């Protein structure tokens, strides 16, 4: 089987050594206190936070999923990833939700609960529940990363994918545990630069390899069966392979996912890099940089998709070979489940001598002498597994050296997402569970030690859940639609409705969260839109009902929140107390924030489409997209950039400072 060369291995080992050295070097500075460990003392500049945000969103599993949809659909795969991969929530972070959360002066999203709802019994329970729900969500996200990583590494090393994934997670956990937010951001900077260079390399290679747009569409139709592969706009119906039929009504799917992201975006911003920002201006600038740099991800992914089409066409000139190969596996291993399919095929490829001769000979007869290179692309449904396109291209279509560099980039993408997510949730476990509920008198050394233990527990739980999952697409769908829908109402209403109180958030979170977990256990096959509608309905019913049945939040607490955060929405009892000058200033800010949103969303989507169209030589489509992008960019400049606070007066003080 094709494997890593000495140069590739040396590049990867060197990267991991540098990463661990950074963790050790930053240990002393990070251990000065919780502010230093979790927020780097609120001293990091916006450009470091912006690159960290990009690297955190540039995850390996997500990159594999999006590449799979671009391989199946061409540029239109972007619209399926309105589900989450297109990060449409970024528009809200740029416009206002990032600065709203910074103004609290809090360290964690659970501490923010006290700032918003006070410190009575309901708020205390809500703070604990917020931390626990964040832990559940993080474990699910880590499981998604684990599953994607195991699918990825199985093609490159002759060892069990689960074992290799465990080693990678262990390295990530160690340097996150030692270096805190300093190490996370500094390694994210290095990882982000590696990722951006990798984007350029893959995009250029695909641009060079791709035929003209018409020939590429014909090739894609032969490989995937999709005759509209080169189109950029979604149609009402599109061809999808077995296992992906739910996406055939593409316009409806994209519209539903857009609605979901708009709703979810309304509550974003409770992240370390916004709590740790130095000013409102820095919140906006880091978000903008994050958006600009994440754009480079899309030409890289369409590049992998193009190279994947060429690879599959070369590997499987006779279409029925894939289906017959899957049938052979099913015949010899009739009880094989989706969660174990990749582990079994990887083991067959790496250790064929451990299996009956009949299995190997039948596969070789079906796939040819190079069956060990081709088998990993065979999916459980008898079609090419699109989630394996990215690693298959890296292994079979890239030269030595380039392959090692891109492997580092992909592993960096996985590790940066893991470390950022774990650092943020560890802060909740330490500050809001251990210190706030269990050990209020704990000293700094004890709290830092508890952060180490929390990191290991989180990574361990995510690993256990990930190795039992089916496909990464299925797991991602539940996280976004089921678990996300179950927490939607508290996430939104706490920012926009004065009557939303702590008991309401507790009720909505419990009802929606428990519903999502029960659905995952009892009805895991439920389609995504039903998960979202059902869990969101439970969440809103619980939040609104419990809020109206219990007393409002303490007026003093509510007033402090309102005057320091300065939100818009249903705040009439408090907005009536503003002076005429305050009302005019707030209204101008709110008007610009709201008007900037649609321009930001359109600019973001077209910025993702344009470079993909250029990579596949779809110049007519690019010529139609460019004016739309320029018009949206002009709107962003007029309503957002001109209203950005100047560097000399970068924005409002936090509630902690005022």
Q: How far is CA 254 from the centre of its chain?
A: 18
* Token pair of 350 as six digits: 């790496």
pLDDT tens-place string over residues 400-437: 777 777 777 777 666 666 666 776 677 777 777 777 77
pLDDT tens-place string over residues 624-648: 999 999 999 999 999 999 999 887 7
Using only the alpha carbons of the chain, give its radius of gyration: 25
Q: Find tokens 């096959």 and name the residue.
A: 525
Least confident piece of the model among 253-267, 396-410, 481-495, 617-631: 396-410
Which residue blocks in 94-231 are alpha helix, DSSP H?
98-102, 109-117, 121-153, 161-209, 213-224
> What does the pLDDT read at residue 37?
46
Residue 133: strand, helix, or coil:
helix
- Count other Cβ atoms within 10 Å, centred on residue 358: 11
Residue 623: which H helix or E strand, with range?
A: helix 619-636
Among residues 493, 495, 473, 479, the alpha carbon closest in space to that of 535 is found at 479
Among residues 189, 206, 196, 202, the alpha carbon closest in space to that of 292 is found at 196
Q: Phi, psi (5° rounding) for residue 628? A: -65, -45
pLDDT tens-place string over residues 521-555: 888 778 878 888 899 999 999 999 999 999 999 99
Output the 3-class SS for 13-77.
HHHHHHHHHHHHHCHHHHCCCHHHHHHHHHCCCHHHHHHHHHHHHCCHHHHHHHHHHHHHHHHHH
Among residues 37, 49, 118, 175, the alpha carbon closest in space to that of 505 is found at 118
Model-level pTM?
Answer: 0.81
Cβ proximity of 40 and 273 under 8 Å: no
> What does the pLDDT read at residue 492?
93
Architecture per CATH, domain 6-313+400-641, reads as Up-down Bundle (1.20)
Residue 382 zone, left/alpha/beta (φ > 0; ψ -120 to 50; rest): left
> What does the pLDDT read at residue 261?
84
| Calpha distance 468→83 (Å, rounded) | 23
Q: Find tokens 């005759």 and name the residue.
A: 227
Q: What are the extents of the domains in the chain?
A: 6-313+400-641, 317-383
pLDDT tens-place string over residues 117-151: 988 888 778 777 777 777 877 777 777 777 777 77
Number of H helices, E strands in the chain: 32, 0
Q: Find tokens 């309105």 and name the residue.
A: 82
* Token pair of 88 as six digits: 């449409």
Output the 3-class SS for 389-428.
HHHHHHHHHCCCCHHHHHHHHHHHHHHHHHHHHHHHHHHH
Cβ proximity of 293 and 47 under 8 Å: no
Residue 52: which H helix or E strand, with range?
A: helix 46-57
Cβ proximity of 30 and 180 under 8 Å: yes
Among residues 271, 274, 276, the alpha carbon closest in space to that of 43 is found at 276
């Amino acid at each position: 089987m094709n494997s890593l060369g000495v140069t590739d291995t040396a590049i990867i080992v060197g990267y991991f050594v540098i990463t661990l050295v950074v963790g050790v070097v930053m240990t002393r500075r990070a251990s000065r206190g919780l502010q230093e460990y979790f927020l780097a003392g609120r001293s990091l500049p916006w450009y470091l936070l912006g690159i960290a945000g990009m690297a955190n969103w540039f995850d390996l599993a997500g990159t594999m999923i999006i590449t799979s949809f671009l391989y199946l659909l061409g540029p239109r795969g972007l619209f399926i990833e309105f589900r989450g991969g297109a990060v449409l929530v970024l528009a809200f972070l740029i416009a206002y939700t990032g600065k709203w959360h910074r103004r609290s002066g809090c360290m964690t999203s659970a501490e923010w609960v006290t700032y918003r709802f006070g410190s009575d019994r309901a708020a205390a329970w809500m703070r604990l529940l917020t931390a626990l729900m964040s832990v559940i969500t993080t474990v699910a996200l880590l499981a998604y990363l684990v599953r994607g990583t195991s699918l990825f590494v199985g093609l490159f090393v002759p060892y069990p994918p689960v074992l290799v994934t465990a080693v990678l997670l262990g390295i990530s956990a160690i340097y996150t545990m030692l270096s805190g937010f300093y190490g996370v951001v500094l390694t994210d900077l290095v990882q982000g630069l590696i990722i951006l260079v990798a984007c350029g390399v893959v995009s250029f290679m695909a641009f060079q390899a791709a035929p003209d747009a018409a020939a590429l569409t014909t090739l894609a139709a032969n490989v995937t069966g999709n005759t509209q592969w080169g189109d950029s706009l979604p149609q009402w119906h599109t061809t999808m392979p077995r296992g992906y039929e739910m996406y055939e009504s593409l316009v409806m799917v994209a519209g539903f996912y857009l609605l979901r992201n708009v709703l979810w975006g309304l509550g974003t911003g409770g992240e370390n890099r916004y709590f740790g920002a130095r000013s409102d201006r820095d919140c906006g600038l880091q978000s903008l940089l994050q958006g600009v740099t994440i754009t480079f991800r899309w030409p890289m992914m369409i590049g992998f998709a193009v190279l994947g089409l060429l690879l599959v066409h070369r590997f499987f000139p006779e279409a029925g070979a894939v289906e017959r190969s899957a049938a052979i596996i099913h015949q010899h291993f009739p009880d094989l489940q989706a969660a174990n399919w990749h582990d079994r095929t990887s083991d067959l490829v790496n250790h064929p001598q451990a299996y009956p001769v009949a299995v190997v000979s039948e596969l070789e007869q079906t796939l040819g002498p190079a069956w060990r290179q081709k088998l990993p692309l065979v999916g459980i449904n008898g079609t090419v597994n699109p989630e394996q396109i990215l690693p298959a291209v890296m292994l079979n279509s890239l030269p030595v050296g380039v392959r090692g560099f891109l492997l580092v980039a992909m592993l960096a993408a996985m590790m940066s997402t893991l470390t950022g997510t774990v650092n943020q949730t560890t802060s909740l476990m330490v500050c809001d569970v251990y210190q706030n509920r269990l050990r209020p008198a704990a000293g700094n050394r004890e709290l830092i030690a508890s952060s180490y233990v929390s990191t290991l527990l989180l990574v361990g739980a995510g690993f256990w859940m990930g190795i039992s999952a089916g496909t990464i697409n299925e797991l991602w769908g539940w996280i976004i639609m089921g678990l996300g829908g179950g927490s939607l109402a508290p996430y939104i209403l706490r920012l926009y409705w004065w009557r939303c109180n702590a008991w309401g958030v507790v009720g909505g979170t419990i009802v929606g969260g428990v519903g999502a977990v029960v659905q995952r256990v009892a009805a895991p096959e439920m389609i995504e839109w039903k998960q979202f509608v059902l869990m969101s309905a439970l969440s809103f019913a619980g939040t609104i009902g419990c809020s109206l049945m219990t007393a409002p939040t303490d007026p003093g607490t509510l007033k402090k929140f309102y005057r320091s955060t300065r939100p818009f929405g249903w705040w009439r009892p408090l907005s009536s107390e503003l002076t005429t000058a305050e009302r005019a200033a707030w209204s101008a800010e709110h008007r610009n924030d709201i008007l900037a949103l649609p321009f930001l969303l359109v600019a973001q989507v077209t910025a993702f489409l344009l470079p993909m169209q250029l990579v596949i030589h779809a110049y007519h489509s690019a010529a139609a997209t460019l004016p739309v992008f320029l018009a949206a960019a002009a709107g962003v400049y007029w309503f957002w950039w001109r209203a950005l606070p100047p560097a000399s007066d970068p924005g409002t003080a936090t509630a902690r400072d005022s």
